[in-house]
Structure 1
Amino acid sequence: MVVAGCARAPAPEPEPPPEPEPQVQPRDEAAERAAREAEEQRRREEEELRRLETERRRVLSVIGERVHFDFDKSDIRPDAEEVLQRKVSVLREYPGIRLRIEGHCDERGSNEYNLALGQRRAESVRRYLMSYGIDAGRFTTISYGEERPLMDAHNEEAWAQNRRAEFPVTDHGRIGAGE
């Protein structure tokens, strides 16, 4: 007996599962909005810091302006009044600022005389500022006499620069923060 048969055809391979369709992540609008708001807040803060730094430089520039005096005088000169008026404006705007008013002299005269003259100069400036309503408690005064010259030369130009009052800030208060 002969058995004959057909060879069986191999079973077809199963089709691979379909590629998953790329899922589009739903836009997280809340997260995007939060990111935009955070970036905007950061930008505003940087802008405010730049504004505060600009204001701080302006204030310190005005406060740092020196006033000069005539030889052997402690009277406020007209050009010094202009400088002091700018200081009055800043001191009114920022009541937390405290200053040390330093009186200086040129080298002519004795050390004792120049210390006294430097003190009169510092006091003259203090009285001027107080006459515009700036509280006396915001100032200290000191005289350095001839001990801290700006210029070491021995001529009228150097002496004129050395006859001055300077205004180091002893307490900045909150410059630029809108006290």
Structure 2
Amino acid sequence: MKVETRIYVWDVFVRLFHWVLVLCIFLNYFLTEEGEKPHAVIGYIAAGFVTVRFIWGFFGSYYARFSTWLASPGTVFRYLRNFKSRRVYMSHNPIAGWMMIFLMLCVIGLGLTGFMMGTDRFFGEEWVERLHDIIADVMMAAVVIHVLGALYESYHEKQNLVAGMIHGYKKDRTN
């Protein structure tokens, strides 16, 4: 009889970061109006959380560190080549790790272009507004891929990764 082990993977800050970012993205994409104060405040909150998360990626708990889950391009290609027989990772798999970086960079890009639109130099500049909209739309497409990937990996790993992002634990299926 095999004993199932649970590992504490997602620390409190990582989980708080994740759900605050989900809320900020939802509010700003679907409910607030561009150019209004709540939209800007929520955007700056999101960008601030991402900035702290980048710092946490170097100094945080073991599974929060980039060095634990950010894979090299070679590892990503090997993972894709052996997709059907791929191994399970305790933290992010090689594709998911790069998706996390991409999503965080999108939030930073939105914060930067949003800030630019409020400055005298770039106020009313159509290319900045268009870039902001493109980043938002690309990020939302990536969010959909992220959610589908998390659901697929939950099925593949036979565990609820969404619940894990609430309580912090993941079943050890690496062996």
TM-score (norm 2): 0.28
Question: When you count helix as a share of all residues, which structure comes out higher?
Answer: 2
Question: When you count strand as a share of all residues, which structure comes out higher?
Answer: 1
Higher Cα radius of gyration: 1
TM-score (norm 1): 0.27
